[in-house]
Structure 1
C-alpha cells in the first residue's frame, strides 16, 4: 500500500486540489472559498509526510514550527490581498485587454502558470547571482529540514519580487481576478509538493515537474552544488539554463544534515530576526 502511495500521491494531490479549485471558480463561487481548500491541502500534505516520510527526522520540529506558521500566514495573507487588488491594479496599470477570456478556465490557468513559471524562475535564478537579492532569499535557504511549509518560508520582500516577476506580464494583458486567485492557489499547492517530506516517486516526470525529488538538490548547503533546479512549476527553464540535475552518483539525493547555508550555519531562526537579517548581513 505504501509503495502505491509513493507513486500516486504527488499527481493525485496536485490534480485533485487544482480541479477542486477550478470547480469552485467555474461555479462562480467566491475565490475566498480557495482559502479553506488550501488549509485542507496543508492538512493532507502533513498527514502524508507522517505516513510516507522521505526523512523521518524532518517531521520533528526543531524550534521552527511556530516561526514557519507565521511566515506562511504573513506570506499567504499578503498574496490574498494582492490577488484581491487585481481589479484595482488592472485599472491603474496601463494594459492591453487581450486576455483569452473565451478559453476554458483550465487553459487560462495553464497559460498563466507558464508565464508565471518563467518570471518566477528567472527571479529565483538571479537571486542566487545578485548579492542584495541573495540576502533576502537566504531566509528561505536557512532551513535545516524540508517539509511542506518550507515553500511558504520567504522574506516578504523577496516574495514580492518573485510575485512581481511572475504576474506583472499577466496583469499587462488583463488577467482577471479569478485566474489570479487560481494561479496563487496553484503556486501554494506546488510549493507544498516542492518542499514536501513525502518519499514521492514520479518516474520520468522528474525531468519536467519541479517537485521535491528535484528541488531537494536546490537546498543543499553547498553554495555551488545548490545552484540547480530553480524552477517553480517546471524544470523547462533549468534545462535551458543548464542548471538541471537529477539523483545520480554525482548528485546524490540530500539527507538530514545536508541542508542550510554553508557560509552561515548559525543563520538566525526567529521570525523577526530573519526579517532584519538581510539588512545587516553579508552572505
Structure 2
C-alpha cells in the first residue's frame, strides 16, 4: 500500500486539487473565495501525508521554526490576496486590449498562465542566485534546516513581491482575467506544497517533467554551488534550457544537508530574517561537497 501511495501521491495531489479548483470556478460557478478552504484542505492533507509516509522523519519535528514559518506564510499569502484585489485596475492600466484568449476553455487559459508565469518565476529565481542583493533577500528561503510543505511559503516579503512581479507582469500585459489569476495563485500554492514536501514520493519518469520534492531537494543543499541547480517552479524544462537541471539517485538529501553552508548561524526568528538582507554579513568556510554531488 505504501508503494502505491508513494507512486500516486504527487500526481493525484497536483491534478486533484488543481482540477477541483477549476471545477469550483468554471463548472459550479462559485466565487474565487472558495479557493481558500480548498487550499486549507490541501495543506491539511499535505501534513497528514508527511506524517504517514515521511521522506526524512526528523523533518516532521519542529526545531523552533513552526511559528515563524506560519507568520511567513500568512504575510506572503496576504500579499498575494492584495495583488489579486488590485488586479483589475492593473490590467486596465497595463494590458493590450484583447490580447488574452478569453474564448479558450478555462483549463486551457490556466495552463497558458502557468506556462508563462513559470518562465518568469524561474528566471527570477535563477537571477536571485546570481545578483548579490537579490540573493540577500532570497537567502531567507534557503536558511531552512528541514524541508516540509509549508517551507514553500517561507520567503522574505520583498523577494515574494519581486518574484510575483516577474511571473505576473507578462500576464498583466496580456490582460489576464481575475478568475484565471486566482486559479494561477492557487496552482502556485499547490505546487509549492509539493515542491517542498517531506512525503517520500516516488516520481519515476515524472521527475524529468515536474519540479517536485525529489528534484527540488537538491536545490536546498548547503554545499555552495552544488545547490545551484533546479530553479524551476512548475516544470523542469526551464532548467534543461538553462543547463541547471540535476538529479542523481546516488545521493539522498538528509538531515544536516540543508541550509546555507557559509552561514550556519543564519537568524531564525521572523523579525531578524526580515532585517538580515540590510545588515553586514560574515561568511564562514563552506562545507566540502560530497563526492556523488560533484559535477
TM-score range, shorter chain: over 0.9
Offset, 1:223 = 1.5
Q: Is the 8 A contact 2:95 2:175 kept in 1?
A: no
Offset, 1:95 = 2.9
The residue correspondences of 1:114-133 to structure 2 (distance < 5 A) are 114-133=115-134
Q: Is the 8 A contact 1:140 1:153 kept in 2?
A: yes
Q: Is the 8 A contact 1:214 1:229 kept in 2?
A: yes
Residue matched to 2:39:
38
Partners of 1:102 and 1:172 lie apart in 2 by: 17
Query: For 1:144-195, what per-residue CA distance to the aligned partner results, in whole angstroms no more than 9, with x for missing partners?
Result: 0000011000000101111100010001011000000000000000000000
Residue matched to 1:274:
273
Partners of 2:14 and 2:238 lie apart in 1 by: 21
Query: For 1:76-111, what per-residue CA distance to the aligned partner results, in whole angstroms no more than 9, with x for missing partners?
Result: 111011112111111222434211111111100000
The residue correspondences of 1:55-70 to structure 2 (distance < 5 A) are 55-70=56-71
Q: Is the 8 A contact 2:125 2:163 kept in 1?
A: yes
Partners of 1:142 and 1:30 lie apart in 2 by: 37
Q: Is the 8 A contact 1:118 1:237 kept in 2?
A: yes
Q: Is the 8 A contact 1:219 1:226 kept in 2?
A: yes
Q: Is the 8 A contact 1:95 1:172 kept in 2?
A: yes
Q: Is the 8 A contact 1:135 1:281 kept in 2?
A: no
Offset, 1:248 = 3.4
Q: Is the 8 A contact 1:208 1:235 kept in 2?
A: yes
In the alignment, is residue 171 of structure 1 matched against residue 194 of structure 2? no
Residue matched to 2:237:
236
Partners of 1:281 and 1:63 lie apart in 2 by: 25
Partners of 2:15 and 2:81 lie apart in 1 by: 22
Q: SS of 2:55's equivalent? A: coil
- In the alignment, structure 1 segments of 5+ residues that lack a partner are none
Partners of 2:209 and 2:103 lie apart in 1 by: 28
In the alignment, is residue 147 of structure 1 matched against residue 124 of structure 2? no
Partners of 2:94 and 2:111 lie apart in 1 by: 23
Query: For 1:10-60, what per-residue CA distance to the aligned partner results, in whole angstroms no more than 9, with x for missing partners?
Result: 111111100110111113211111011101100000000000100000000
- TM-score of the superposition, structure 2-length normalised? 0.93
- In the alignment, structure 2 segments of 5+ residues that lack a partner are 284-295
Residue matched to 1:198:
199
Partners of 2:116 and 2:228 lie apart in 1 by: 22
Partners of 1:12 and 1:22 lie apart in 2 by: 15
Q: SS of 2:226's equivalent? A: coil
Q: Number of aligned pairs?
A: 281
Residue matched to 2:263:
264
Partners of 1:245 and 1:230 lie apart in 2 by: 10
Q: Is the 8 A contact 1:136 1:155 kept in 2?
A: yes
Partners of 1:248 and 1:45 lie apart in 2 by: 24
RMSD: 1.0
**Are the structure 2 counterparts of residues 97 and 281 from structure 1 closer, same or farther at C-alpha, using a change threshold of 3 Å?**
farther
Q: Is the 8 A contact 1:216 1:253 kept in 2?
A: no
Q: Is the 8 A contact 1:21 1:34 kept in 2?
A: yes
In the alignment, is residue 88 of structure 1 matched against residue 96 of structure 2? no
Residue matched to 1:160:
161
Partners of 1:170 and 1:279 lie apart in 2 by: 31
Q: SS of 2:117's equivalent? A: helix
Partners of 2:37 and 2:226 lie apart in 1 by: 38
Q: SS of 2:227's equivalent? A: coil
